Structure 1
């Protein structure tokens, strides 16, 4: 018989519900476990199935021949009225799954039964300012803790066994527009032991982006690195170095509220010992107010985990005028013997860079009908189409609204938060893309703490009648699209690929799908009852391969999607965690 007990936290005004179930003994998650996550198959202890973010599993039990027989093993409801966008990737260790949900909640679940072991509900204050729904994208495991961020810009470490709060740290003031939605990143440090690396959300409120590293055992800050030039970082409680050179690419004092939010988290490459993080859009959106490149917004930045120093930076959209951001994940891989990274930018181009130095290798379109730039030049900078930048309000008759343009892609991007996957077997990236554009114009705006800082108006529109979403297999060696799988609604969930050449992904219509990784042919589909905006995972336990995904429609599309939002207005919200496996007779026959 299950018994319940309430655990009151002494370190934070929060509540955890613990259920005493018969669960396996839980060993600590070591930094070695984290660094080996891409090759171990009996657990998933990192966001990205490995710190490099490839989202590839070598498992082959579920394959092209039997995937059509995949069936639910169990499903668990996230419960209550808090059914908003569920974007988290689950983690699995020693028979226990850890998953976050909307409104800053976290569960521990018995993977054999789907029964809840404990639940933590963070007590959110009034007045939080999340721009893009009340989502959370996952947690991190290290030692005996599970760590995640909250919508009121806090970082919370819980005891993995009980759900009791171990420590809580404030990332920043939520009243100023700061929040936190990404999965933390755990990296090794010789000087400080395992570090918890986080960014900040809030780019639409004129915050200044930064990356921070804290000690995993107590949450103490080790270093902080701003992502906008002119701001000074810290190391061991003292000022360290300035990011860039003050006034180099920002006019006047606009760098003080320059944006560059690091809201999607980062990846880590053990081979080069570098953290890769994307910095978001400059603030405000009205680019005429801030002539210049506006470094290091819309950039990919490589950081030394010991000191927080920037080792290299690459800017995808200098002087961004379309909210193309630059936060999309940086995935490490090997390209014909070269240590490389790839990133699919919101601006519609797929970039390959040198992993060690950030040297530009290639930039090719992965969506169609791009209007804002003609191409990416040999120097790695975009060749702008000057007629497709929204007009300056000062040039209008009343000074209140600049000339509108129709730009492709829309500000929600050729790809947004939904992570892509890479297969070292096919040597292809699988990119969940969207084909859409927007009417956009500029407006005057003044910074005010805690208020939206845009200076733009916009309406998103489809550009094709039969689809918006398009899962694309991209060859990083050539930039060519090998195959495309079209979906009527936008794709907003991540991708998983496996050693049996399968690609798993979900759709807003609620379908979890499996495709042939070589040609994009659909092999299996299961409707989960609500839209999928989260990445799936796979792992092995007791000789069986499992696949899990969160189902629950929401996120930025229904909030910001304009005419596109109307096309998906009938999609049902929900909050369910689904886990699938093969019937035992089929699995045993492999």
Structure 2
């Protein structure tokens, strides 16, 4: 009887641990061999104690093996490694299970989401999957949450997470990694640029049944959602004005979601407003909760506990969806349970994660929208010129809407006490403009979005001098930079720190590199043949330590950045899973020699007025994928070279008719008229002729 009772007790404990997620806060596995969640442990520090690869041995690091991903659309995912299997998700949400020793692909699942790819602001990317209790959880671009059998990739269940009401589903997407907490799959969504209303939802991990939902912004006055957020409706709605619900309001939860088991609190970061322009969205009044905030709720019910708003009355696309790290730090002579985040707005925040109290907020990059954060009030001290909708002027602001730090993961090393993160310094001109009424399926920002024109070599040089990227080591206790290393471009990869005293990061220059965690010295690098934006992981099998990274240039900056994103090199290249070990002997095949393409545009005949109109329409409808000034630095076709601009009929069939929708280019029948289309074509012909005459600058 005692043995049976003991077995029953053990079975009960296993079930309890499974329901809680099965991973304690500080240790994924006691020896660090696995990488079971996107942040490795529940505190999401992305630090591994593995140390076979260290300062002394990293020079012997070599490629063990690689897996071709059959795309060049870009990679942002963090792999998961459990029990000898790597679970990866590629562009267009293609999931693979890979033998972590050999690289053999065990199964592949394709959710067929190419037709929904244009829903995403920033490419057909995903930041990862979740793996728990024999299931692999996938958030798909078309809004589905899918549970796969981890053994063979077959679908166990799937559910559509999007609302059927306004805003329409075409405005939404999912690019973030799900989290599994206490037997529930937690997922948010993206789409605030298009006109979405943000929410985060918990689904039963075994059945897919919805258990609760929390809306981050209120709906139409007088309505309730029958959601966990209803309890806060009065407080939240009082911070809004005008007719925000017609635009959706924004506040999508597209990435940062973390959990503290000791406090039993679920934390999530909330995105930007929709439209971006606070004057248009809310008549220029009110803080607009919970935009650009960190919110803490109970994971069982979604019950609100606390929030801290980093950017009140958000009007610059300054999201708070950037990665969150949990740690215990000594601050002011007292141990504090803290939450750390470096959001887009340029400040590094430390909060008491039990109460939401602001402990510190310091700039990590050039910031001109605000001089500092008042620690007594918790509010930014703003530059009055930053609110362009009040001044009526164009204002150049730092950081840009891309942020001082974006989605790329950062890492905290308990060995050094430092946070390692990629940092950008880049400004953006902002002014009021764009459509004054919501248009489904296209950018609805309330700002003047132009397609842009080309820069000559001297202009590019000047702009580049003010556009920088760094790998930074930040001391969160001393509140200062410990060291920083300037990189060749501004948009670089996520970060891993290890017990071997190393920091790993990929970059836009097609390199995967290892640095000394103490001082930033470059110790090793590998030619990846493509830019790297994703964060690496490390794991061990049979006593051998491996380092793995999803290599592939894509995402917001390569798609939007045009000529700037081609500096110092165009990072587009073969997308692969790269896995390294000491004394690895693998070699990547050489890249084919690609001759630069010469521009051969049609003769330019359109009027200046038509070209100017096309410039604005391109900015609102096309720029997000095809690039600033119609220069593509990503895998998306460069429209200056497109044969379709030679024929009005062919251009119509593609853009309005949707002839290429199965390849990720949707039809814009409900957004663009025939006269709009001709204006866009005139602008593209103009841009192609400009660059064809500009000493070959249109070659690629």
Structure 1 counterpart SS, 2:193: helix
Q: d(CA) in 2 for partners of 1:355 and 1:504?
A: 28
CA contact (8 A) 1:435 1:463 kept: no
After superposition, residues 8-157 of structure 1 pair within 5 angstroms as 30=18, 31=20, 33-35=22-24, 36-37=27-28, 39-79=30-70, 82-124=71-113, 126-128=115-117, 129-157=119-147
Match of 1:491 in 2: 491
Provide closer, same or farther for how the CA distance between residues 521 and 233 of structure 1 changes in structure 2, counting only shifts above 3 A.
Answer: farther
Deviation at 1:467, TM superposition (A): 6.3
Q: Matches of residues 270-419 of structure 1 in structure 2 within 5 Å? A: 270-289=261-280, 290=282, 291-336=285-330, 337-368=335-366, 370-378=367-375, 379-392=377-390, 402-419=392-409
Rounded Cα–Cα distance in structure 2 between residues aligned with 1:246 and 1:221: 24
Whole-angstrom CA distance in 2 between matches of 1:358 and 1:61: 38
- Deviation digits for residues 428-487 of structure 1, max 9, x if unmatched? 111111111111111152123333211113589986628621011111112201100111
Which stretch of the first structure deviates more once superposed, 65-74 or 223-232?
A: 223-232
**Equivalent-residue separation in structure 2 for 1:52 and 1:131 (angstroms):** 28
Task: Give the Cα–Cα distance (whole angstroms) in 2 for the partners of residues 347 and 496 of structure 1.
Answer: 23
Moved beyond 4 Å, runs of 4+: 230-235, 458-464
* 1:41 partner SS: coil
Report the alpha carbon displacement of residue 42 of structure 1 after superposing the two structures with TM.
1.9
Distance in 2, matches of 1:563 and 1:260, equals 30
Alpha-carbon spacing, 1:244–1:435, altered in 2? closer, same or farther (3 Å): farther
Q: 1:568 to 1:124 in 2, by over 3 A?
A: farther
Structure 1 residues 563, 537: CA separation in 2 closer, same or farther (over 3 Å shift)?
same
- 143-152 or 455-464: bigger deviation: 455-464
Greater percentage in helix: 2
Deviation readout 1:83-123 (Å, 9 max, x if unpaired): 21100000111111100000111000111211111100112
Gaps of 5+ in 2: 1-13, 453-459, 586-700
Q: For residue 360 of structure 2, give the secondary structure of its aligned residue in structure 1.
A: strand
Q: Matches of 2:425 and 2:413 in 1, distance apart?
A: 24
Q: 1 CA distance for matches of 2:542 and 2:362?
A: 43
CA distance in 1, matches of 2:394, 2:32: 51
The whole-number CA distance in structure 1 between the counterparts of 2:535 and 2:448 is 31
CA shift at 1:560, angstroms?
Answer: 2.1
Residues 293 and 123 of structure 1: CA distance in aligned 2, closer, same or farther (over 3 Å): same
Question: Quick check: 1:96–1:108 contact (8 Å CA) kept in 2?
Answer: yes
CA distance in 2, matches of 1:569, 1:74: 25
503 and 285 in structure 1: CA distance in 2 versus 1, 3 angstrom threshold: same
Distance change (3 Å), C-alpha of 1:239 and 1:227: closer
Deviations 1:49-82 (A, max 9, x none): 1122100111111110011111111001012xx3
Q: Is the 8 A contact 1:438 1:458 kept in 2?
A: no
Aligned residues: 541
In structure 2, the residue matched to 1:159 is: 149
Query: 8 Å contact 1:510–1:530 — kept in the other structure?
Result: yes
Deviation of 1:489 (Å): 1.2
Deviation at 1:244, TM superposition (A): 5.4
Structure 2 distance, partners of 1:549, 1:118, is 19
Take 2:229 and 2:268, find their aligned partners in 1: how far apart are those partners? 21
Q: Secondary structure at the match of 2:66?
A: strand
Distance 1:309 1:342, change over 3 A: same
Q: Relative to 1, partners in 2 of residues 1:517 and 1:187: Cα closer, same or farther, differing over 3 Å?
A: same
Asked if structure 2 preserves the Cα contact closer than 8 Å seen for 1:264 and 1:278, the reply is yes
Q: CA deviation at 1:178?
A: 0.9
Structure 2 distance, partners of 1:458, 1:577, is 36
Q: Tell me how far apart the structure 2 counterparts of residues 479 and 515 of structure 1 sit (CA, whole Å).
A: 22
Distance 1:180 1:311 in 2: 25
Q: Distance in 2 between matches of 1:123 and 1:40?
A: 38
Alpha-carbon distance, 1:253 to partner: 2.6
Rg larger in structure: 2
Query: For residues 490 and 105 of structure 1, what CA distance do their matches in structure 2 show?
Result: 28
Q: How has the CA–CA distance of structure 1 residues 232 and 504 changed in structure 2, closer, same or farther, with 3 Å as cutoff?
A: farther
Mapped partners of 1:262, 1:411: distance in 2: 17
SS of the residue 1:103 aligns to: helix
Instruction: Specify which structure has the higher proportion of strand.
Output: 1
* Change beyond 3 A, Cα 1:478–1:464: farther
Between the aligned partners of 1:38 and 1:255, the Cα distance in structure 2 is 46
CA distance in 2, matches of 1:122, 1:37: 29
Q: Which residue of structure 2 lines up, in the alignment, with residue 201 of structure 1?
A: 190
Query: How far apart are residue 206 of structure 1 and its match?
Result: 1.6
CA contact (8 A) 1:362 1:380 kept: no
Equivalent residues of 2:33, 2:50 under 8 A apart: no
Which of 215, 221, 228 is the matching residue for 2:204? 215
Q: Distance in 2 between matches of 1:466 and 1:413?
A: 14
Does 484-493 or 242-251 show the bigger shift? 242-251
Provide the C-alpha distance between the structure 2 equivalents of 1:490 and 1:506, rounded to a whole number of angstroms. Answer: 12
1:427 and 2:417 correspond: yes
C-alpha RMSD over aligned residues: 2.3
Structure 1's 125 and 73: CA in aligned 2 closer, same or farther, altered over 3 A? closer
> Following the alignment from structure 2 to structure 1, what is the Cα–Cα distance between the partners of residues 229 and 485?
50
Shift of 1:373: 0.3
Of 247, 250, 253, the residue aligned with 1:262 is 253
Relative to the length of structure 2, the TM-score reads 0.74
